[in-house]
Amino acid sequence: MDKVKHFLKKTKVKTFFIKGEKIKLLLKEDVFPPSINGIFVAENIIINPGETIVDVGTGSGIIAILSAKLGGKVFGTDINDASINLAKDNSIRNNIFGVFKKSEYLNCFSQKFDVIVANLPQDIVHDNYKEYIGDHLFQTISGGTEGNSHIINFLKNAHNNMHNNTRLYLPVYTDVCFKPILKEIQKNYDYKIIASKEYETREFVEYNKELFLKLNAEKKIKIFLKNGKWIAKEYLFELKLKQKNN
């Protein structure tokens, strides 16, 4: 059985059409390729011409490049050197300008952005799948044993890079322990859900059903069977700085 479906076996070029924009990307084996979850984020974020946007965990650069095509002034970060190099390469390929920096979250920036998009690793990845994909790719998807650690860590400081009107777009999945994420959101942010959709869970859910069924029974995650497939939901949150009452 082919155990790894999401990652690429060899480099390829793929064209995406999102919000009426054509984006041609080089995709490589050592960088996270756009998933249905990331494309859903790209399809639903709002970018106005002239706004400053930072794409946190840029991967192939898809969200940053789309944002630049929509008129944004674009920045991107990633912890992975291969991602930063690929995002720069893909920017040139798409005739856009972006500033891409190797950094954890937004740590390399002191400025405030108009828009922050954070499609960070958010999966509960079982050890046996980690063995198939190796440490390097594991770091591009793993959100720790509960799937939520990157999002929570990021939210603890993201408000420092926000002004009163900054929109922070954050996808939250129900096949990770999402309740601690909601709790963290409520500390510093006002929020609304701007889009949601069902998606078929990635292959490691099927391979590690016992673990995921246990978490489901404990109500830590929420997945369900539909037509013989395991389904979860993705919610796209728009966060703003919490307005302080006088």
Site residues (vs ligand SAM, CB under 6 A): 32, 34, 38, 56-60, 62-63, 77-80, 83, 104-105, 119-121, 139-141, 150
Q: How many residues belong to the chain? A: 246
What is the residue whose two structure tokens read 């946007």? 53
Distance CA 125, CA 145 (A): 7
Q: Which ranges constitute the DSSP H helices of 94-234?
A: 127-141, 149-158, 179-188, 203-207, 209-217
Q: Is 204 helix (H, G, I), strand (E, B) or coil?
A: helix
- Treating both helix axes as pointing N-terminal to C-terminal, what angle do 62-69 and 81-93 enclose, rounded to 10 degrees? 30
Burial of 119 (0-12, 13-18, 19+ CB in 10 A): buried
CB 97: neighbour CB atoms within 10 A?
9
